[in-house]
Amino acid sequence: MKTFYFVRHGETASNAEGLTMGQIDIPLNVRGQSQARETADWLRRYPIERLVSSDLSRARETATPLGKYLGLKVEADRRLREMSFGIFEGRHIADCEKEHPDIVARWRVGEFDFAPPGGETRRSLMERTQAVLRELIAATEEHIAVFAHGGTLNAIHSHIIESELLEPREHIHRVFRFSNGSVSMAAYAKEQWRFLVVNSTFHLSEEPRQLLY
């Protein structure tokens, strides 16, 4: 049985301000650095053999403390980046909606092949995250930690939910919400998935002690 540990990066200044980041490369703020350390302190009890991270700073910085604890290199993979939001990046969506109401409306509906100007389609996000997940399933390591972003993790969880469908829907599930520094776990055996925990912030001293949304 393989076990995956999916971690959303710690907080950044843009997270705190409610700005859309996308693929803008922003480091962790002080709170995010604390979340990274607490996440590492919790995860080091598990027999994790491999660390894979988005190549954006906020994800790599979240993975680094665990890498130091376990003596593991953090492998950066740009396919785990957040979805690119084009002209929305670095801004409040409410402000974008005032300037581009039609574009924001189409984006909110979730059209699979629509992207804001300069941005990325949901199909692209699904294709690149599925490729990474398939490679990790085929890897020899049994315990793998993946450090990524809210949108990326929604895509990965959608792959897991839809894995048994002959024709997966063109849809990204939004039932999951991933807090900064949260950990989700899923087990894979005999071509079947099982969620163990979703969006746990139990290990974060300043967060509500919740396990599931």
Q: Is residue 208 situated within a structural domain?
A: no
Q: Is residue 26 situated within a structural domain?
A: yes
Q: What is the pLDDT of residues 56-78, one digit of tens each?
A: 999 999 999 999 999 999 999 99
Residue 133 confidence (pLDDT) = 98
Q: What is the pLDDT of residues 3-49, one digit of tens each?
A: 999 999 999 999 999 999 999 999 999 999 999 999 999 999 999 99
CATH number at residue 171: 3.40.50.1240
Residue 128 confidence (pLDDT) = 97
Contact 178, 204 (CB under 8 A): no
Residue-wise DSSP of 162-181: HTT-SS--S----S----TT
Average pLDDT over residues 176-197: 95
Q: What is the pLDDT of residues 98-123, one digit of tens each?
A: 999 999 999 988 899 999 999 999 99
Residue range of the domain that includes 78: 2-200
Distance CA 186, CA 2 (A): 8
Q: Is residue 62 situated within a structural domain?
A: yes
Q: Is residue 159 situated within a structural domain?
A: yes
CA angle (97 as vertex; 92, 99 as ends), nearest 5: 105
Contact 146, 136 (CB under 8 A): yes
**Percentage of the chain surpassing pLDDT 70?**
96
Q: What is the pTM of this model?
A: 0.94
Q: Is residue 37 situated within a structural domain?
A: yes
For the chain, what is the domain count? 1
Distance CA 81, CA 140 (A): 23
Q: Is residue 144 situated within a structural domain?
A: yes
Residue 213 confidence (pLDDT) = 41
Confidence at 165, pLDDT banded by 50, 70, 90:
confident
Q: Is residue 211 situated within a structural domain?
A: no
